[in-house]
Amino acid sequence: MQILDGKELSTSIKDELKNKVIKLKAESITPGLAVIIVGDDVASHTYVKMKESACEKIGIYSIVHKMPSDISQEKIMETIQMMNTNPNIDGILVQLPLPKHIDTDKILQTVSPDKDVDGFHPLNSGKLSLGLDTFVPCTPLGVMKILQTYEIDPKGLDVCIVGASNIVGKPMMNLLLNEFATVDICHIHTKDLKVHVKRADMVIVGVGKPNLITVDMVKEGAIVIDIGINRLESGKLVGDVDFEKVSQICSYITPVPGGVGPMTIAMLLENTIKSATQRLENA
């Protein structure tokens, strides 16, 4: 069994990105990322601080718009439109989840596709499904970068994705289909999850349920990618996979923490620099 170390990989990627920022600044382009966060969700504020810190370390300019939980949808959209037209902002990120009175789809569609570094705009989702160059959601993109680095070729593999969200499951499916994997995607209404997972050469899970994937569900020698992150009552962070037992029979596995999580932020930085590079090319 080999650990797929996303933390170490993300560090080397950030070093490469830092050099790209230096080159962009030499061309009078400073990559800029704007974040909107609504309300007081502790986890969301923690993630945003991590993103701010990562931007600062590699030289990306970042600004955070903190908004009260009772803010109107119109005010959020006005702020996004302002950033859409700001030539110094290359990426716009809306931290999810949003309060229930806000139409999340409408908010995400307000972000310019050219600055959609989260890859959530329908235009970018459509491009991804067609295999065209676009902004790809950061978590699935991070998974693909891990596979590439460890020379794991999805071509011809039977892959089971557990979780069908627009943020992870669906874009993950499209990325793997574009690499000629055979993809089986499961969700909360799947009748017999074990049947699907057991036959997979690669299992990718991200639903936020500790120990959802147990050792009896996984084929020996399978590749296991755990995107889930859950905090137990003890304070310990764990994924959706029973790591201790599953790691004894699989060929590769991502740990939690230290697997896909760090790669998500690294890919956000990469997408922002991609957008800044496009700004330079279009100047």
CA dist 230 and 223 (Å) reads 21
CA dist 122 and 144 (Å) reads 21
Would you state the torsion angle of the CA atoms of residues 168, 169, 170, 172, taken in this order, to the nearest 10 degrees? 80
Q: 20, 51, 115, 219: which is the annotated catalytic residue?
A: 51
Please give the structure tokens belonging to residue 63.
Answer: 């600004």
Distances in Å between the Cα of 4 and the Cα atoms of 191, 244, 256, 264 are 30, 15, 11, 14
| Count of CB atoms situated within 10 Å of the CB of 147 | 22
Range 212-215 contact pairs with CB under 8 angstroms and sequence separation of 24 or more: 212/162, 212/240, 212/241, 213/162, 213/240, 213/241, 213/242, 213/246, 214/242, 214/245, 214/246, 215/242, 215/245, 215/246, 215/248, 215/249
Q: 20, 95, 145, 242: which is the annotated catalytic residue?
A: 95
What are the beta bridge partners of residue 223?
A: 202, 252
Please give the structure tokens belonging to residue 54.
Answer: 């990562």
Q: How many CA atoms lie within 13 A of 172 on its CB side?
A: 29
Whether 118 is a known active-site residue: answer yes
Q: Which residues contact 235 (CB under 8 A, 6 or more apart)?
A: none
ω before 257 within 30° of 0 (cis)?
yes
Please give the structure tokens belonging to residue 35.
Answer: 């974040």
Q: 118, 184, 226, 242: which is the annotated catalytic residue?
A: 118
Catalytic positions: 51, 95, 118
